[in-house]
Amino acid sequence: MEKPFILVLCTGNSCLSQMAEGILRRVAGDMVEVQSAGSNPAQLVHPKAIQVMSEIGIDISNNRSKHLNEFLDRKIHTVITVCGNADEACPIFPGMVARYHWGFEDPAKAQGSEGEILQVFRKVRDEISRVFEAYGAGIQFTAKR
């Protein structure tokens, strides 16, 4: 049986969607396949996103920023957009079962000292964790029924 494919989208695929992908992978385990992409990829995963994710034991340092077009030929079960621009730019994937929009502040736009910017990254990471851990728990619960 083919695992459901979940695609997490944001504009740059450098922060929000990368963090969400890492968290959902950890929570849902091998129940689903999870990838992230962007409508206008930044070409890198933000170093501060890598740093704050490593603080909670998730390594996204080998992830890469991908364009959503890489997945147009895939059978997508669920699309989750995590920023407003991606929600507006999200294409309809053939056979898509569900689509959710859970918007978060873009930590890459944070200003201030190094410490203040890291605090924004941590706050957003924790918000993403709460939402995606609950979603992943639902996946686990449904799979066990």
Cα separation, 125 vs 67, whole angstroms: 22
In angstroms, the first-to-last Cα distance of the chain is 16
CA-CA-CA-CA torsion sign (23, 25, 26, 29): positive
Q: How far is CA 10 from the centre of its chain?
A: 8
Enzyme catalytic residues: 10, 83, 90
Written as one letter, the residue type at 142 is T
